[in-house]
Amino acid sequence: MTRLRYFIDIYRPNYWFKNIFMLVGSLSAFFVFNVNISPQKILDILIALVCTSFAASANYGINELLDSEYDKHHPIKKERAIPSGKISGKGVILGSILFALASLLISYFFLPIGCFFAIMSLMIMGLLYNIKPVRTKEVPYLDVITESINNPIRFAIGWYAINALFFPPASFLIAFWAFGAFLMACKRLAEYRFINDPAVAAKYRKSFSYYNEEKLIISIIGYISITSFALAIICIKYSVSLVLAAPVFAVSFVWYFRLTLQKDSPVKEPEKLVKQPSFYFFTALVTLAVVLGKYFHFNIESILW
Q: What is the mean pLDDT of residues 219-236?
A: 94
∠ Cα 178 184 186 (to 5°): 105
User: pLDDT tens digits, residue range 266-283?
Assistant: 998 877 777 788 888 888
pTM reported for the whole predicted model: 0.89
Residue type for 112, please?
Answer: P
At residue 293 the predicted structure's pLDDT band, cuts being 50, 70 and 90, is low
Alpha helices per DSSP H over 162-276 = 170-195, 198-204, 213-238, 246-260, 270-273
Highest averaged pLDDT of the listed ranges 9-13, 90-94, 182-186: 182-186
Give yes or no for a contact between 252 and 285, defined as CB atoms under 8 angstroms apart. Answer: yes
Alpha helices per DSSP H over the chain = 3-10, 22-31, 39-71, 90-110, 113-130, 142-147, 150-161, 170-195, 198-204, 213-238, 246-260, 270-273, 277-295, 300-304
Cα separation, 186 vs 180, whole angstroms: 10
Residue 297: what pLDDT? 43
Selection from 93, 72, 305 nearest residue 205 by Cα: 72
Selection from 199, 185, 197 nearest residue 146 by Cα: 185
Cα separation, 207 vs 137, whole angstroms: 7
Residue 156, pLDDT above cutoff 90: yes
Residue 127, pLDDT above cutoff 90: yes
Cα separation, 105 vs 28, whole angstroms: 26
Cα 136 to Cα 121, 126, 147, 206, distances in angstroms: 15, 10, 8, 11
Q: What is the mean pLDDT of residues 240-257?
A: 86
Judged on CB neighbours under 10 Å (0-12, 13-18, 19+), 202 is middle
Buried b (16+ CB within 10 A) or exposed e, 257-268: bebbeeeebbbb
Q: What is the mean pLDDT of residues 72-94?
A: 79
Cα separation, 289 vs 125, whole angstroms: 32
Residue 228: what pLDDT? 94
Q: What is the mean pLDDT of residues 50-66?
A: 93
